[in-house]
Chains A and B, each alone.
Chain A
Amino acid sequence: MNSGSCPVSEALIELRERLDKGVLSHPRCRTIAEQALGLIRDIAWARAGRDHLQALEGLAEQLAAWDGDPSCSETGQHLKSALFEHHEAFASHIKTKNCPTGQCVRLAPAPCQMACPAGIDVPTYVTLIGMGRYDEAISVIRKDNPFPWVCGLVCTRPCEFMCVRGRMDEPVAIKPLKAFAAERAFSTLTYNNPPKAPDKGRKVAVIGAGPGGMSCAYYLAVMGYQVTVYEDLPVAGGMIMVGIPRYRLPREVIDREVAMIEELGVEIKFNTRFGRDVTFASLQEEGYEAFFVAVGAHEAYSLSIPGEKDFEGVRDAIAFLKDVALGERHAPGKHVVVVGGGNVAIDAARTSLRLGARSVTIAYRRDKDAMPADHEEVEQAEQEGIHFAYLTIPVEVVGENGRATGLKCLRAELVAKPGSDRMAPLPIEGSEFVMEADAIIAAIGQKVDDSCLADLTAVDWTHRNTLCVNSVSMETTMPGVFAAGDAVTGPATVIEAIGGGKRAAQGIDRYLSGLPQPKTPPVPVRRSMLPHLQTSAETKMTLERPEMPLLFLDRRRTTFQQVELGFDEAAAKEEARRCLRCDVCLRCGKCVEVCRDRMKVNALELGYFDFDHPVKTDFRKIEEKCILCGACATNCPNGAMQIRDEDGWRVLSLCGTRLNRAPLVQCSMCKEPLGTERYLEFVKNRASQGGVPVSSMYLCVNCARKTGAHSVSENLPHNHGETP
């Protein structure tokens, strides 16, 4: 698992050792220490409630104040100082039910949840989807992300990159599962808001109605703050509305999720630019006590090549996509060249195609391998007929009569850069050529438009021209002003903006409550501990990640209809069953070790346990060697590996996946279940190695003893009641 020490786990071990070693001799003192140990164990095992910490502090105080026994007061002092120094860690264990170090094994969080910038409890909602409880799945997601449907369609899914299933075959399709559940919950009118806290009567201004701003507004509204969002555009959504085309993210999806946030009382003032229509001072006068800035990065970099400013038909992708999102329906040109290699370039190209351009080419200065765009987007663009000109460097826009007619380019080759492992494109001399183009769209990056933030004079900026914040609380250097999203990170992802908005809401709540800000990033919260979905090893191994059904090609090339059609219910439920439940199995390897090293059976070849060097795993092969002894289950610290007897069979399962089962052999005399035949053979072989004779009958201990005693008695000479 993870490195680092956990103060809760350390306190537990230390107190247990003191008790075990008899350090505390006074009986009353021992009783108090045992009570304290019980409370710490509750905290480490996700069983603690709000009162635990206070009760624990009380017991530590009693021990520390103990007069009669110095070891007792020393133990109390030690515990007191641990609770004082690591108060946040103890409180975090109780609140989040997660221990990021993995040392409190019951609280080791799943890698997918840890990977999510918003900290969504992925295993819980995936399991709920597998159970058909879609509305509950959405409620779980919205505790950490108020845009499950949006993210189900456009998230960059860091969770899937960390998905442990990906070490075996393909990661669980976490993103589409989220979209499926959200759509179903909206469709069945079960997509609900959480209850709001009572109105605090305090006002917070949010600048920007993008994913970061709306997320912050949502969590503040749930906490009882009065939130007003100021938005420059006539629509909500920010970059997800005006930067992501409708064939990837339908407007209705954004509108529905924004409407849910508005239902909580969040007011959005459209066409209102901060720094022009409202100012920092005017909002302060209106009674706003805290500010959240999430203005995004809407200003594009220019190509900086000759001719760029001289001809009509040259524009940047951000402005182009925004115009189309707000209603523009004319093709930018007949022959379009998009310059760039990121997702924005792909979006601009596919949008141009849908508007009727005859040819669309993406010119990128490196090769396909170095392209930062999502490979699925690249693949879909290729299917639709977008041309890719790799290793192509634009050098000049050429034109006639004030109108662009082409883009002069040079061929390039990638060469190693001195002192760096980075391959750089080097223009090939004499390779000049002109690509025919009456529309040239630059998609080479965006930056923050800082003109609207001139009011915020005490805010520091980074050398990247982004807002400088503490990434834990999202505080800027100006008291009461918080920030997140692209304005802080530079052009980044939707889920990072959402995570930043959520952290900022917590930071603003602390700021307005006069509480100190935390020093380390928040630990994601475990929302539930659900039972496993039951499945066979065969099913677990053979279920494949479903292919995403796509709209047919002709319609994709001509309309803005959603390309990815989503999973149907059967596919979603099946996909949920591929989840390995890493919130329960923390891949500590104790089961593998005991099976291999102690039992010498070596049945559990679970190669996916290793992050750096995963090797093959096949749950189906386990039954070939497994003797169903149960040593693995006994040594599993988390109850992930379980062995149980069911209807005359012994069954071994790992997080609900049945790894092996065999009929139980019963005692030949009393019929008590003894174990499986293979297990009894194993015991017999071990016993015979030690030279102990074993009967051919299967007898339980009691019956064996009785039989043995009877046989001895029969062989003894009758003593007729005489004493020796």
Chain B
Amino acid sequence: MSLKQGQKVEIFQCSKDESWEQYMDGFVGLHGIITDPDASINDPDDLVEVSVVGKGTFRLPQDCLRVLED
């Protein structure tokens, strides 16, 4: 997934990535905005910074994200 700053996303599932922590299970179903995509090489394995509505800003693996609009 090539993510862009300002893009709206949904955390649609828990990630299997090691960086996924238990408290993040509560994010599933919430929407957010990409505030910092992977910094330079568009690596699908990179963590991206997402501001999750009502929860805060976190580095999340990309496999839990679904783009809501272009």
State the A residues within 8 Å of B (CB).
1-4, 100-102, 111, 114-117, 119, 156-158, 161-162, 301, 340-345, 366, 369-370, 372, 374-375, 420-423, 443-445, 462-464, 468, 470-472, 489-493, 496, 519-521, 524, 611-612
Contacts of B35 in A (CB 8 A): 115, 156-158, 161
Given contacts A370-B2, A462-B19, A519-B23, whether A100 and B57 have CB atoms under 8 Å apart is no
Q: What is the bound-complex CA distance between A99 and B44, given in angstroms? A: 34
Whether B40 and A3, one on each chain, are in contact in the complex, defined by CB atoms closer than 8 angstroms, is no
Chain B 9-51, CB within 8 Å of chain A: the 1/0 string?
0000000001101110010011101011111111111110101
Contacts of B44 in A (CB 8 A): 420, 422
Can you give 12 A-B contacts (C-beta < 8 A)? A2-B30, A4-B26, A158-B36, A366-B42, A369-B4, A375-B5, A421-B1, A462-B18, A472-B21, A490-B47, A491-B39, A492-B36
Whether A420 and B40, one on each chain, are in contact in the complex, defined by CB atoms closer than 8 angstroms, is no
- Contact with B54, one of A101, A420, A445, A464 (Cβ below 8 angstroms): A101
Given contacts A161-B33, A420-B1, A612-B8, whether A521 and B40 have CB atoms under 8 Å apart is no
Contacts of A370 in B (CB 8 A): 2, 4, 42
Whether B42 and A158, one on each chain, are in contact in the complex, defined by CB atoms closer than 8 angstroms, is no
7 more contacts with CB within 8 A, not counting A420-B44, A445-B43, A496-B57, are: A4-B26, A100-B56, A161-B35, A342-B40, A468-B18, A471-B59, A491-B40
Contacts of A158 in B (CB 8 A): 33, 35-36, 49, 51, 57
Contacts of A119 in B (CB 8 A): 56
Q: What is the bound-complex CA distance between A158 and B35, given in angstroms? A: 5
Given contacts A162-B33, A520-B23, whether A345 and B54 have CB atoms under 8 Å apart is no
Whether A471 and B53, one on each chain, are in contact in the complex, defined by CB atoms closer than 8 angstroms, is no
Chain B 49-69, CB within 8 Å of chain A: the 1/0 string?
101011111110000000110
Closest chain B CB from A384 CB (angstroms)? 21
State the B residues within 8 Å of A (CB).
1-2, 4-6, 8, 18-19, 21-23, 26, 29-31, 33, 35-47, 49, 51, 53-59, 67-68
Q: What is the bound-complex CA distance between A423 and B21, given in angstroms? A: 29
Whether A489 and B47, one on each chain, are in contact in the complex, defined by CB atoms closer than 8 angstroms, is yes
Closest chain B CB from A21 CB (angstroms)? 32
Q: What is the bound-complex CA distance between A342 and B41, given in angstroms? A: 8
Q: What is the bound-complex CA distance between A343 and B33, given in angstroms? A: 20
Contacts of B30 in A (CB 8 A): 2-3
Q: What is the bound-complex CA distance between A342 and B39, given in angstroms? A: 6
Measured CB to CB, the nearest residue on chain B to A115 is B51
Whether B37 and A493, one on each chain, are in contact in the complex, defined by CB atoms closer than 8 angstroms, is no
Whether B21 and A161, one on each chain, are in contact in the complex, defined by CB atoms closer than 8 angstroms, is no
Contacts of B4 in A (CB 8 A): 369-370, 372
Whether B53 and A611, one on each chain, are in contact in the complex, defined by CB atoms closer than 8 angstroms, is yes
Contacts of B26 in A (CB 8 A): 4
Measured CB to CB, the nearest residue on chain A to B38 is A372
